[in-house]
Structure 1
Amino acid sequence: MSSTPFQALACPLDGEPLNRVGNVWRCSAGHSFDVAKQGYVNLLPVQQKRSSDPGDSKLMVAARQRFLDAGYYQPIAQTVSKHLFNHAEVQSDSSLFGCLDAGCGEGYYLRELARASPSVRPLSLIGLDISKWAVLSGAKQDDKTSPLCNWVVGSNAHLPVQTAVLNCVLCMFGFPVHHEFARVLKPGGLLVQVEAGAGHLRELREVIYPTLKPEVAIERVLPESFAYLQGESISYQVTLEGQAMIGDLLSMTPHLYRASQEGRARAAALNELILTVDAKLMIYERK
C-alpha cells in the first residue's frame, strides 16, 4: 500500500488555502480549524448545515461498517479500483494521485482502494462526509502513525478543497454535485460515480414494502464540464445469514425510515435473505 493524506484543503469560509501547523489548519485570513484527537477536521461551518447533526446517524454508520466489513460490496470496490488504477497507469505523471471520496461514509472504499494499490503511483487520499459520525468512524480506524488519508467533515455542495488539484473524485451511492466536482478536478481528471441499479436490494424491498413502485426510465443528462467515458453494470447475489446482518443492511439504508412498522417487523423475523446487489458505475472525464 502506498498512500498519504491529501493536503490541498481550502478554508470553508473564504476558499483560501489551508496550511497545517501541528494540529491546526489555518488560512491566511486567520480562520483556524483544530484536528480532533481522533484525527479528523471539521470543515463544515454552521451556515452550511441544514440541521444540527446532518448526514447518517451513529446507528446507521455502525451498521454500514459491519455490513461492508463483511465483504458484501467488495466486487464494487474492486471494480472501482480497477478503473482508477488503469487511468493512473496510462498517465505519464509520476506525482501523487489525488483522490477524494465525496460522501466517504466510514471509509470502506478508500481503504479497499489503498489495499489494492499497485504502488506504481502513490495515492493522496481524502475522505469527506457531512456526517461527523461517519468521518469519526473512518478516522478511528486509521493508523495514527501512518494515516491513510485526511478525514474531513464537509459538504459536497461546498467542498473544502482547492481548485483543480485532484485526479479523481469518487461518489459512491452519494449525492453528486457536479459543478463542485468539476471545480476541484484537474483537466483530464476522473469522476467515478456509482449508483443503485433497478434491481438493487430488491428482495429486501419486497419484504418491507406492500408493493414496489414501477421503475421509471430516467433520461440521463451529461454533467456540464464532463465527457462520458464508459459505464459498467455490477450485478450479483449474496446470501445474508442471521437476523443481525439483515438488520444491519436495513439500518444502513434510508429504507429503515421509509418502511412501515409492519415492514420492519417482517425483515426482523428473517434468518436468511438471498439478496441482489445491482450497481451502475459511470466514469466521466473533466474536460
Structure 2
Amino acid sequence: MYICPVCKKKLNRVGNSWKCSNGHSFDIARKGHVNLLTTAKHNPKTAGDNADMVKARTEFLDKGYYLPLAEKLREVAGNVLQGEKSPVIIDSGCGEGFYTAELSKLENARIYGIDISKHAIAHCMTRVHLAGITNCQFAAASSFDLPFAGDSADAIISVFAPVCNDEYARVLKKGGTLIVVSPSPRHLFELKAAVYDMPYENKPNDYHLDKFNKGTDTVFEYKALLSSQKDIFDLFMMTPYFYKTSEEGMARLRSLDTIEVTCGFVIQVFLSR
C-alpha cells in the first residue's frame, strides 16, 4: 500500500525500514509505525497535535463519551462495504486511533491510519498493541499527500479531520466510499452556552467534493453527562473553540463540575466516480 513520499515509487519493507527503488528509506519505529512526512512540506517534529493534546483527547475518548459514534461509524462502514472480501480502509486524520480501533472489528478488514502528528501515531500503536489488534498499520502522513498507491482503497474515513478531494479520489478505487463525520448544528451547544454570551449553532460543512457522487447523510445525536471538570476541559481542548475563547470564558469553563451536552454528528457518505 505505501508509496514513497519523495518520488511516489512503491515502498517495500526491507528489514526494519520501508525502501523504494530510488533508494529513499524510512525507518520503522520501535512501536511499529513509520514517519512518511517529508521535511520539504512539514516539520515531522512539530506537525499536528503535541503530546499533551493527544494525552487529553485519549483520556477523554477512553471514558466512552464518543463510543456510540464509533459504533455507529463501524455500522455505516460495514453496510457500505458489504460484499468486499478483504476491504482496505484508510482512516485519514486518525488521531490517537480511537475510531480506527473500532473499525478494525470489521470482518477481514485491513486498516491503515494516518495522521500528521507523530505523537498521535505513536499512541495509535500503543492502543492496538494493548487491545491485541493485528490488522492495523499506522504512518505519520498528511491527508493532502497520502502515502498510498492510486486505486488501492475501498474506503476512506475522515472523522473531524481535513478532507482532500483530489487525494481521496486518487487513492480510492472507482466506486469506493468516502465517509466524512462532522459536527451537527447542535453539537456541544450546551458547552458553548456555558462559555459564550451568544452561543451559535454549527454551520454545515461544504467540502467541494466534485470528484465524488453524494450518497447518504445520517444525523446521529445523543446526550452525554460530563461528570468532572477534567472531562469538560479535555473535551473543550478537542474543539476549535479552545483556541479562540477569552480568559473570561475559560474561567467559566473551569467553574463547571458537571454538564449534560448534546453529542451531535453528521455522517456523510460519498462515492468515488
Q: Answer whether TM exceeds 0.5 for this pair.
A: yes
Deviation at 1:52, TM superposition (A): 5.3
Q: Deviations over 1:242-287 (max 9, x none)?
A: 1111121112223222111221121111110101111111000111
What is the CA–CA distance in structure 1 between the aligned matches of 2:207 and 2:235, rounded to whole Å?
31
Deviation at 1:131, TM superposition (A): 0.8
* Range moving further from structure 2, 262-271 or 128-137: 262-271
Partner of 1:224: 210
Give yes or no for contact 2:101–2:128 (8 Å, CA) kept in 1: no
1:132 aligned partner, one-letter code: K
Partner of 1:124: 110
Q: TM-score, normalised by structure 1?
A: 0.89
Give yes or no for contact 1:168–1:185 (8 Å, CA) kept in 2: yes
What is the CA–CA distance in structure 1 between the aligned matches of 2:266 and 2:15, rounded to whole Å?
41
Q: Is the partner of 1:47 in helix, strand or coil?
A: coil
Unaligned runs of 5+ in 1: 1-7
Residue 33 of structure 1 pairs with residue 26 of structure 2: yes
Deviation at 1:51, TM superposition (A): 8.3
Q: Is the partner of 1:246 in helix, strand or coil?
A: helix
1:179 aligned partner, one-letter code: D
For these two proteins, the number of residue pairs brought into alignment is 272
Q: TM-score, normalised by structure 2?
A: 0.93
| Cα separation, partners in 2 of 1:28 and 1:51, compared to 1, 3 Å | closer
What is the CA–CA distance in structure 2 between the aligned matches of 1:185 and 1:126, rounded to whole Å?
13
Deviation at 1:87, TM superposition (A): 2.0
CA root-mean-square deviation: 1.9
Residue 268 of structure 1 pairs with residue 254 of structure 2: yes
Give yes or no for contact 2:220–2:264 (8 Å, CA) kept in 1: yes
**Runs of 4+, deviation exceeding 3 Å:** 144-148, 213-218
| Cα separation, partners in 2 of 1:87 and 1:217, compared to 1, 3 Å | closer
Q: Is the partner of 1:142 in helix, strand or coil?
A: helix
| Cα separation, partners in 2 of 1:221 and 1:255, compared to 1, 3 Å | closer
User: Which residue, out of 98, 104, 107, partners 2:88?
Assistant: 98
Give percent identity, aligned residues only: 33
Give yes or no for contact 2:220–2:266 (8 Å, CA) kept in 1: yes
Residue 169 of structure 1 pairs with residue 156 of structure 2: yes
